[in-house]
Amino acid sequence: MTPHITVQLYSVRDLAKQDYAGTIRAIAATGFGHVEPAGYPGTTAKEAAKLFQELGLKAPTAHIGLPVGDNKNAIIDEALLMGHQYLITGCPPKFREHFTSLDKVKAMAELYCEAAANLAPHGLRIGYHNHDWDLAVVEGRRAYQVFLENTPESVVFEADVFWVARAGLDPAAFITEIGARGKVLHFKDGIVSNKAAFAEAETESGKVMVSESIPFRAAGTGQVGLVAAAKAAHHADYLAVELDSFEGDMMQAIRDSYRYLTSRNIARGTK
């Protein structure tokens, strides 16, 4: 079945901070029946849950903290409130520090195993979202492959196809490789050949990668092979529109992405 289209709300963080309800209403009006929160700028999870219910929106996926340690119960409670199914880390704990050796990659994998065990009694699953740096070779191995080897298949892998391509890998082949873990995918487009450096920055949603250059584009207007990637996405339940940033009207870019993905039957919305 064609996956549902969703949108990573980090894309509209600036608009949401000014008018959360108006921004979400505009997204619902576009035809999105699903959204992927990443924090709640300008509002709270409780208020967002009420708004989503009013609009008939579902949030089966979210970028959220890893449910381990002191914050475990608060993260699980928020997930249950919002109706999440997949809890996905936008970036791993300690960010790049876990990718300086294979032992550290394995230690990180243990945290995701712990998170998976914490979520299982609630019918929830933990997930990992990639950038390009965590797909690099570490001590002769691709770090993500070591992560996969050291976590159960219940740990999903939210492949971000723009970052996969930027790491020099083929998105379709990557999606095939992760197999049944690819329940949720980011169909992000952009200028992959733009090699501007990205640096980490702290935001309300956690650490993110930022750059003075903006390579991100509406779906279908960049260099990522989205059609080929879609043909490999046999296990995907949700395909997310995301633009980390955009030189222009962000909502228009999201609407253009929606039209591109739905008109080609890559994903399905409500219109």
pLDDT band at 196 (very low <50, low <70, confident <90, very high): low
Q: Give per-residue pLDDT as tens, 16-44.
A: 999 999 999 999 999 999 999 999 999 99
Q: Give per-residue pLDDT as tens, 170-180.
A: 999 999 999 99
How far apart (Å, rounded) are the C-alpha atoms in residues 119 and 68? 10
Indicate the pTM of the whole model: 0.93
| The amino acid at 44 | T
The residue written with tokens 């250059």 in the block is: 213
For residue 64, give the CATH number of its domain.
Answer: 3.20.20.150
Query: Which range marks the domain in which residue 240 is found?
Result: 4-263
Report if residue 168 sits inside a domain.
yes
3-state SS assignment for residue 111? helix
Report if residue 225 sits inside a domain.
yes
Task: Find out whether 64 and 40 touch, Cβ atoms under 8 Å.
Answer: no
pLDDT band at 88 (very low <50, low <70, confident <90, very high): very high
Report if residue 270 sits inside a domain.
no
- In the chain, the number of structural domains is 1
Strands, DSSP E only, in the chain? 4-7, 61-63, 86-89, 125-129, 137-138, 141-142, 156-158, 184-186, 189-190, 199-203, 206-210, 216-217, 238-241
Report if residue 121 sits inside a domain.
yes
Report if residue 271 sits inside a domain.
no
Report if residue 268 sits inside a domain.
no
Largest Cα span, the chain: 51
